[in-house]
Amino acid sequence: MEPKHEEQHSRQPPPGIIIPPGYEYMTVGETPEEFTHGVLMKAFADYSVALGRWDNGTPSWLGSGVLVRKGERFGILTAHHCLHAHSPQVRVGSADDDTLCMLLNRGRSVIVKPQEVREHVLAVPRCDEFGPDLTFIEILSIERLGTFKAIGTFWALDRQASEITDAFGKPLTPMVSIGYPSVYFNTLKEANVTRHQIKHMVYDNAIKEGDVFEKDGWDYLDTTISDVDNPGLPLSFAGLSGGPVWGMELGRNKINRKIEIRKHALIGITFYEIFKKKGEGRLRAHFIKSIYELAWKNFP
């Protein structure tokens, strides 16, 4: 849903959906390709991280993450299972632990020594389906933090959850799920050069009635991603775990009438693929209250 130009007449929404005066109704599939494959692909790239374990010069990709700041702590927010569902589990914090490889905006990789970061476990999963499933990789090294700041952007998690919910957590709010699906991981060898390829993907949708719910105090967002709205869905969303979900306020440029992002906020962290079948997939993410407040209750 987006502000409407006075000269435009939006088509009628489905029964039961009330569009406020001054706004127009548009489905995800009706958004111009230059917006979905242009604006959206670039808008959130600065925040995204592909997580990998560095093993003898080869990255073993673990999942996705997002650069965040909590107070004066900077790091990567991701799903707990991205580090701990592997065998052996990923360990960081001391010199004998795992070296990490992180891919940031425009394909820039950062090798992180194990003593340069520390993991803060925020929520250990009790079950795959509902988690809760969150962890925070804090960047301790001033030098390494400078590298991340030079390449990427950190989203601040210090705002009130209620403020974010009022602005970006209601039905009809446009949103995007972002990450690095593992089906696109590829290794190419050319003579003595080895190239590791992964894709930063964006899947857009909108919050619908019933998508947001609570269980055991945690809030969740279930999102259906259709091939109609996002052509060429991967065979599986594995690898998207830990990736961010962004809520947006859209509007039209007053001069060229193109759709643009007016405001945005982090509203979720994907951690579970409910199903993936031909032409459609459904993902579950921790929602606003969980990632802004609940997960940090015992954070030092």
| pLDDT tier, 2 (very low <50, low <70, confident <90, very high otherwise) | very low
* CA–CA separation, 65 and 180 (whole Å): 9
pLDDT confidence of residue 5: 38
**Same domain for 87 and 125:** yes
The 10s digit of each residue's pLDDT in 147-169 is 999 999 999 999 999 999 999 99
Domain of residue 219, CATH code: 2.40.10.10
Q: Are residues 256 and 190 in the same domain?
A: yes
Residue 6 within any structural domain of the chain: no
9 domain residue, yes or no: no
With b meaning 16 or more CB within 10 Å and e meaning fewer, what string describes 196-230? bebebbbbbbbbeeebbeeeeebbbbbbebbeebb
Question: Based on the domain organization, do 60 and 189 belong to the same domain?
Answer: no
* pTM, rounded to two decimals: 0.89
Confirm whether 221 is domain-assigned. Answer: yes
> For the purposes of burial, counting CB atoms within 10 Å of the CB of 83, is it exposed (0-12), middle (13-18) or buried (19 or more)?
buried
pLDDT of residue 12: 63
Of 39-43, 108-112, 228-232, the poorest mean pLDDT is in 228-232
| pLDDT value of position 127 | 93
Does residue 7 fall inside a structural domain?
no
Q: Establish if 8 belongs to a structural domain.
A: no
If you average pLDDT over residues 110-129, what whole number do you get?
96
Q: Distance between alpha carbon 141 and the CA centroid of its chain, in Å?
A: 24
Tokens of 132: 């809760």
Query: What was the pLDDT predicted at 7?
Result: 36
Run of H or E residues at 263: strand 259-277
What's the domain count of the chain?
2
The tokens 């409407």 sit on which residue? Answer: 4
Checking if the pLDDT of 30 tops 90, the result is no
Domain boundary among 97, 124, 156: 156
Are residues 142 and 184 located together in one domain of the fold? no
Same domain, yes or no, for 193 and 277?
A: yes
The residue segments making up the domain with residue 258 are: 35-45+160-296
At 166-225, the pLDDT tens digits run: 999 999 899 999 999 988 887 666 777 666 678 889 998 999 999 999 999 999 999 998
Half-sphere exposure of 17 (CA within 13 A, CB side): 18
Give the Cα separation of 27 and 226 in Å (integer). Answer: 12
